Structure 1
Amino acid sequence: MNGQFKSESEDIIKKYKGQQAPERGFSFLKDPSFFADSVFLKSPQRIEVLARLRGLCLLVYTIGQRQLRLSLKQQETGLKNPLGKLTDRPTLRWIFQGFQGIHLRPIQDNQKISNLTDERRNILRFFPKPCQEYYLLS
């Protein structure tokens, strides 16, 4: 009986520690700028929709980050973080921040992407083909 209790305790601790990743992802919920009343959502239904929408966005973000990290792991490589160190666990947040200066420029009948550096092209090769097509790479 004592061994069973120990096993259950270890399972509980493992599950509890596993919650840290979702906690970090949902930390925005504790941010004062998130409070629904501050964005003028007065009805409970609108507040619920906003919460669901943000949850869905977090899900898409998490899947994208996981896919990027898996691609890096499969190719046994990494990307430089903002400090210039190679990492195989980049956050999608700093990837997005690095892509903020890229713009679609219509030139006559063509479309060109401006500020798409070699480093950014390298990062894009770890994303699925639709992401590359978005930047007119395929």
Structure 2
Amino acid sequence: MWGVGGVSLKKECQIMALITIMAMALLVYALAEERLREALAALKQGLPDQLGRMTNPPTLRWIFQLLENIHWQPHEHDPGGMIALTEDQLWIISFFPPEARRYYGAPEAT
């Protein structure tokens, strides 16, 4: 028996399924990181690292940390409120697909 986060896997097929899911997640992670780095390199741009210095290539882990504090906030002129974004968050989101950019109100990367 093998356990992960409170889930016990008793059959070999369950273990293989978990390994497959983990491998696919790592593949998606690596591809997303590569595409972001390629886009930043093509624009000759970077993102601030933990010390505020510009870096290219950033890790996807760092990108997730930069996007961590996106939140909705009420606004006096808009009863529905708005999504509060920093300049760095807007810049990162500008690389997302058009549907996501519209959701967050971010322009396309230039």
| Partner of residue 126, structure 1 | 95
Higher helix proportion, which one? 1
8 Å Cα contact 2:94-2:106 kept in structure 1: no
Distance 1:55 1:134 in 2: 30
Cα RMSD (Å):
2.5
| Structure 1 counterpart SS, 2:9 | coil
Q: What is the match of residue 40 of structure 2?
A: 72
TM-score, L = length of structure 1: 0.61
Q: How does 1:21-32 map to 2 (within 5 A)?
A: none
Assess, with a 3 A threshold, how the Cα gap between structure 1 residues 111 and 64 changes in structure 2: closer, same or farther: farther
1:1-138 counterparts in 2 under 5 A? 36-38=2-4, 39-104=7-72, 110=80, 112-114=82-84, 116-137=85-106
AA aligned to 2:57 is R
State the distance in 2 between where 1:42 and 1:106 align: 48
Structure with greater strand percent: 2
Distance 1:91 1:102 in 2: 19
In the alignment of these two chains, the number of paired residues is 102
For 2:62, the aligned partner's letter is W
Provide the rounded CA distance (Å) in 1 between the counterparts of 2:26 and 2:99: 20
Q: Report SS of the residue matched to 1:46.
A: helix
Unaligned runs of 5+ in 1: 1-35
Amino acid at match of 2:12: P
In terms of Rg, which structure is larger? 1
Q: Secondary structure at the match of 1:77?
A: coil
Identity of aligned residues (%): 36
